[in-house]
Amino acid sequence: MIEKKDLRLQDIGEFALLERLAETLGSAGRGAGKGVIRGIGDDAAVLQNSPGTRLLACCDMMIEGKHFDLSYFSPWQLGWKSLAINLSDIAAMGGRPRWALISMGLRPDLRVSFVEEIYAGIAELAERFGVTIVGGDTCSSAEQLVIDVCLLGEAYRTEVSYRSAASEGDLILVTGKIGSAAAGLAYMREDAKDDLKIEGLDELLRAHLEPVPRIEEAAVLTKSGLVGAMNDLSDGLASELHEIAQASGCGARIWADRLPISPATILMADQTGADPQHWALFGGEDYELLLTIPGGKGSPLKARKLGRSLMKKTGTPLNFIGRILPASYSVEIVQPDEKIEPLGAKGYDHFK
């Protein structure tokens, strides 16, 4: 007899797996009162959005060996992150997340408990932000584990923040700490990690493995009525700032010494000979928000006030790191020695 904990997908088959996963989802799979007229279990989900809202839709795929390595990702974390990166996109649009569809390609020899753990991670995050899992597709993949989440959200017209909405003179702000996810990844990939002493290491690991999407922060920021453009930092600060500048037809300048880099990231960089600024600018996978607010007289004061309000309501800091410039400028960074350098986009390229 096979021990329950050693059951593999091939032992129980697709239909028994789907039943178990529905159980694992618990209330995150049940949509009563959450705009779900029919969730999992028909050819398509039937949903009802709030009157007057616009629908937001995004998807993000995670592939084993590229986006994650099972030697340091637990299945629970994998589930959590697969939803978190999509929640981050909805946050960056100023929206409220509502419904998700989960597609998974799984090796038949995976343990059933492993897949249940993935779903437990999804369920916990879904529950936290009021998301219902309304559908998906579960199929076999001979080689790699693949998870693709499609997330639907909604926002009123005036709440939506496009990346094209930055204007000359705007202040550039960023939530949280940047570079932490890259520092955490560097730690996990470090052969000599036992020799390192990083106070606050846990914060770096969580930034990579269990990022908390800035849904609550986006709600506070959006409610202030000040947000112009907004992006999440999935591709790194430099790349996302280029996207805002390009979409808005502007230039941008940030100050290196204003980048909010955590002490743990600096320790990690010091002990491995890495450059923390490089992680902060190009590392990516920091699921923080990059946004602009109107410039003009008194705007730095407004930024500080907004920061205090955000800290009070969510515990997340907000930092003023730069300014939107006229279109005649490119994207640049002022180094601590006051030297102005062009800032390349250099985001992560999947194929190079």
- Contact set for its own copies, span 40-59 (CB under 8 A): 41-49, 54-59
Q: Is 4 in the site for its own copies (CB under 8 A)?
A: no
CA 102, CA 138: separation in Å to the nearest integer? 8
Half-sphere exposure (CA, 13 Å, Cβ side) for 108?
Answer: 7
Q: How far is the CB of 334 from its own copies (least distance, A)?
A: 26
| Candidate ranges 103-111, 279-287, 312-320, 327-335; the one touching its own copies (CB under 8 A) | 103-111
Question: What would the x/- binding string for its own copies be over residues 245 to 264, using CB under 8 A?
Answer: --x-----------------
Among 101, 204, 207, 291, binds its own copies (CB under 8 A): 101
- Tell me whether residue 161 or residue 262 sits nearer to its own copies (CB atom): 161
- Contact set for its own copies, span 261-280 (CB under 8 A): none
Q: Is 28 in the site for its own copies (CB under 8 A)?
A: no
| Candidate ranges 9-17, 71-79, 123-131, 294-302; the one touching its own copies (CB under 8 A) | 9-17
Looking up tokens 């989802």 gives: 25
- Contact set for its own copies, span 217-246 (CB under 8 A): 231-232
Q: Is residue 11 exposed (0-12), middle (13-18) or buried (19+ Cβ within 10 Å)?
A: middle
The structure tokens listed for 2 are: 């096979």
Question: Going by C-beta distance under 8 Å and a sequence separation of 6 or more, which residues neighbour residue 87?
Answer: 97, 125, 129, 131, 151, 213, 215
Question: What would the x/- binding string for its own copies be over residues 136 to 155, using CB under 8 A?
Answer: xxxxxxxxx-x-x-xxxx-x
Question: What would the x/- binding string for its own copies be over residues 320 to 339, using CB under 8 A?
Answer: --------------------
CA 118, CA 31: separation in Å to the nearest integer? 20
Residue 147, phi then psi, degrees to nearest 5: -130, 125
Among residues 45, 34, 152, 33, the alpha carbon closest in space to that of 96 is found at 152
Half-sphere exposure (CA, 13 Å, Cβ side) for 118?
Answer: 23
Q: Is 156 in the site for its own copies (CB under 8 A)?
A: no
Q: How far is the CB of 34 from its own copies (least distance, A)?
A: 13
Question: What would the x/- binding string for its own copies be over residues 57 to 86, using CB under 8 A?
Answer: xxxxx-x-xxx-------------------
Among residues 224, 206, 341, the alpha carbon closest in space to that of 291 is found at 224
Radius of gyration of the chain (CA): 21
Q: Is 172 in the site for its own copies (CB under 8 A)?
A: no
Q: Is 93 in the site for its own copies (CB under 8 A)?
A: yes
Q: How far is the CB of 201 from its own copies (least distance, A)?
A: 28
